[in-house]
Structure 1
C-alpha cells in the first residue's frame, strides 16, 4: 500500500512538473482534453437540466393521466385540424358517466377555461385565464397554495363566487401576493372573493398550465357565467389511472367507454381524442437521447485530438528522462513500476485537462442559469463520468510510451544522456 501511494505521488508530482516546466507545450497538448471534457459535461449537464425541466412540466399535467379532448395534442406541420374541428366538445355530464363505467380510473376531472379582463379596484389585467374545474382537479394536478386555502367541497357543490388566484396576477393587482387573500376581483360583471393564492410556479417549457397568470373557480360558478360548450371555451376531461395501471390499459378502457357514451356504431370513427401524458414523456426522453448522441460525437472528436496530444507529451517525456529511467532500473526498479508511473502520469495530465474543462463548464452554467428559465445543474454522476473518461483516455494515450520506457535496457538508457 505504501509503495502504491509512493508511485501515485511521484506520478502526480511529475505531471505537475511537466506542466510547470513546459507550460505552453503541455497546455496546447491538453487543450483537446479540456475542450472534450467541456463538451461532454456541458452538453450532458445542459441536456439533463433541460430534460428534467421539461419532464417536470409534463408531469405537472398529471402523471399517468389521459386527457379526453376533441383535439389530438401531437401537433406537427401536417396536423389535420379540419378532421377535429367539428367534433363535439367533452361535457361535464360525461365525467359522471366515465366514473360509473371505469374500473381503472382513480380521479376524474372536468376543466374549462376562457380568457377575459380582470379588475381589482383601479387595477386591471387583460387576457387572464379563468379556469373552471370540478372537485378532483387538485387530485390530478399539483396545486401548491402559497397563501390562504384551496376550494372546499361545499364551495364546489354550491358554486360560491370564490376563487384562487395565480401569484403573478395577485402581485400585479394588489402589489403584494399575500395581500390578495380576503380581497375581491371582478370579471365579466361578477365579483369573486379571493380565498387563496397559488405559490409562484415560474415559466413552463411546454406551454402547459400557467398558474401564475390564472384564476381558478368551481365548475358551477364557471357554468353560471359562460356557455361551456361554446367555441370560445377550451373544455376537456382529465382521467388519472390507479397506481400500477398502465396508461395503455387506461386508453383502451376509455376508448370503449367514450364510444359507448357517444353512442358510436362499430363503423363510426372516434369523435374524441385520448391524449396520453406518458407518451409525451417518452417522446421527450427520445428527443434528448438523440441530442446526447450528438454531444458525444462532438466531444469524441475533441477527445481523440487530446489523446494524441497527451501521447505526444509522453513520448517526449520518455525521451527526456531516458537516463533517469535507466538509473531507476539499475538500482532495482521493476519494469512494472516504470510502466505504472508513466501511465499514472499520463492519467494525471488528462485529469488536469478535465479539471480545467469542468471549471469552464461551471462558469458557463452559472452564467446561463441566470439567463435561461431553468437552472443548469452539474450532476455528480456526470462529473464522475468525465473523470473516468480522463483516466481511461490517459492510460490509453500513455500505454505505448510507458511500454517503451518499461522495456528499456538500463545500461543503454544511462549512456544515452
Structure 2
C-alpha cells in the first residue's frame, strides 16, 4: 500500500514538473509528435489502401483461376513475343472444361464491353455490359438488392434480361422501381429482373465501375456485342479442400493441352492466372511502404528521444537540491527514479497523443471515394512506441537522480 501511494506521489511530482515548464515541455515533445505522426499516418494510409485494393480483388473471386491468353504478370514463363501467337480461349473450350473438370466447384464464362449506352425513355447513361454464364455468381457473388438472378432457362435460351447496377438505376429510373421495366442496351431491348446493391467506387475497377454495370446472359452478349467472335475469359473456382488449387490447375492444364491437341514436348499456349498471386504482389508492395514509414518515423523519434533525454538531464540538474531534501526526509531511490521516469514517459506520451490526434484529423478530410480509416491497432502502436521512447530517454537521467548522495545534492547550487 505504501509503495502504491509513493508511485502515485511520483506521478504527481512528474506532472507538476511538466506544468511548471510549459514552453520547454512543448518544444521537447515536438520530435516525438512528428515521429509518431509519420509512423501512424503511413500505417493508416497503407492499411486503407490495402483494404480498398483487397475489396476490389474480391470481385474477381476467391479460390478462382482464370484461363486466358495473356498472363497477368509481366514477362511470364515465356518470351513476350510468343504470347502473340497463342489462340484466345473460346466458348467451346469453356464447355469442354465445364463437362470434364472434376476438381472445380464452378466454371463460368465472362466477357465485357465498356462505354455502352443505356436508355429508358428520355433517360440515358453510359456504362459497361457483362456477358456471363449461369455459374458466374458462384465465382464472384453478385449481390442482389431487389429482384433475382438469372434462371438456368434464361441463360440457356439467351433471354434478353438484365441485372443492372445501382448507378444505372439512378440514371434510368430516378425515384422509380426498375424491376420489370424494359431498357435499351446499345439499342437492344432488355427486361430488368434484378437490381444490384450499391458498392461505390474502389481503387481497382475491372471493365468499369461496379455500380455502372449491367449483367446479361452470355448468349445474348455474344449475339449483340461479339460480332461472331467467341473468345472469352474462363473462370474456374476450386474446392476448399484443394489447398493452393494445385490439383485444379494441374487438371486444367491437362484438359486444355488435350483440347488443343498439344504434343508432350509442346509448350502450353494458354495462361492460368491466379488472383492470389496478384494479392501477394500487393502485399509485398505494402510491406515496402510500411518499412518506409518506419524508417521515416524512426529518424524523427530518435531526434525526439534525444531531445527528451537532454531535457531530463537539465531537469535533474535544476532539481538537485529538491532531490537532496527528499532523500534526507527518507525518500527511497525508486521514489526519485519513478518521478523522473514518469516525467519522461508522460512527456513522450503527450507527444504521441498529439501525433495520433493529427492523423485522426486528417482522416476526417473528405477524399472522394477513398476513405482513410485509423485502426485501433495503429493508435495502440503509436502510443506504445512513444511510451517506450520516453522510458528509454528518461532511464539514465532518472537513475542518476536516484543515486545522488543527499548531503552532496543539498549543497549543490
Q: TM-score range by the shorter chain?
A: over 0.9
Q: CA contact under 8 A between 1:125 and 1:173: conserved in structure 2?
A: yes
Say whether the 8 Å CA contact 1:15–1:345 is kept in structure 2: yes
> Are 2:267 and 1:237 equivalent residues in the alignment?
no
Distance of aligned partners of 1:208 and 1:316 in 2 relative to their CA distance in 1, 3 Å threshold: same
Distance across 2 between alignment mates of 1:249 and 1:240: 12
Matched, 1:377 2:376: no
Partners of 2:18 and 2:343 within 8 A in 1: no
| Contact 2:202-2:370 within 8 A present in 1 as well | no
- Give RMSD over aligned pairs: 2.2
What's the CA shift for 1:228? Answer: 6.7
Hey, what's the Cα distance between the residues in 2 that align with 1:363 and 1:37?
A: 14
Look up the SS of the partner of 1:129 in the other structure. Answer: strand
In structure 2, relative to structure 1, the CA distance for the partners of 1:372 and 1:46 (3 Å cut) is farther
Q: Is residue 316–residue 401 contact of structure 2 (8 Å, CA) maintained in 1?
A: yes
Change (3 A) 1:25 1:406: same
Name the SS for the 1:240 alignment partner: strand
Give the TM-score taking structure 1 as reference length: 0.91
- 1:239 deviation in Å? 0.8
The residue aligned with 1:201 is 199
Q: 1:31-80 CA deviation, whole Å, 9 max, x = no partner?
A: 0000011011111111011111111211221012111111222248xx97
Q: Deviations 1:147-201 (Å, cap 9, x if unpaired)?
A: 322222222222221101111112112224x522221111344210111111111
Residue in structure 1 matched with residue 385 of structure 2 by the alignment: 389
Distance 1:372 1:6 in 2: 53
* Residues 268 and 349 of structure 1: CA distance in aligned 2, closer, same or farther (over 3 Å): same
Moved more, 59-68 or 185-194: 185-194
Q: TM-score, normalised by structure 2?
A: 0.92
Kept in 1, the 8 Å contact 2:164–2:213? The answer is yes
* Alpha-carbon distance in 2 for matches of 1:194, 1:170: 10
Aligned to 1:48: 47
Equivalence map 1:178-257=2 (5 Å): 179-208=177-206, 210-227=209-226, 230=229, 235-245=232-242, 246-257=244-255
Give the SS at the match of 1:271. Answer: coil
- The answer to whether the 8 A contact 1:113-1:129 is kept is yes
Alpha-carbon deviations, 1:375-399, whole Å to 9, x = none? 2121112211112211211111011
Using the TM superposition, name which of 115-124 and 36-45 deviates more: 115-124
The answer for unaligned runs of 5 or more in structure 2 is: none
Could you say which residue in structure 2 is the equivalent of 1:320? 318
Q: Does the aligned pair in 1 maintain the 2:180–2:193 contact within 8 Å? A: yes
CA change 1:316–1:347 in 2 (3 A) is: same
Q: 1:222 offset after TM fit, Å?
A: 2.0
Task: Return 5+ residue gaps in structure 1 as ranges.
Answer: none
What is the DSSP-based 3-state SS (H/G/I as helix, E as strand, rest coil) of the residue aligned with 1:251? helix
Taking the aligned partners of 2:360 and 2:381, their CA distance within structure 1 comes to 16
User: Quick one: structure 1 residues 30 and 186, their matched pair in 2 at CA, closer, same or farther if it must change by over 3 Å?
Assistant: same
The answer as to whether partners of 1:112 and 1:228 remain within 8 angstroms in 2 is: no
Is the contact made by 2:32 and 2:351 (CA closer than 8 Å) also made in structure 1? yes
1:400 CA displacement = 1.0
Change (3 A) 1:86 1:167: farther
Q: Is the 8 A contact 1:310 1:350 kept in 2?
A: yes
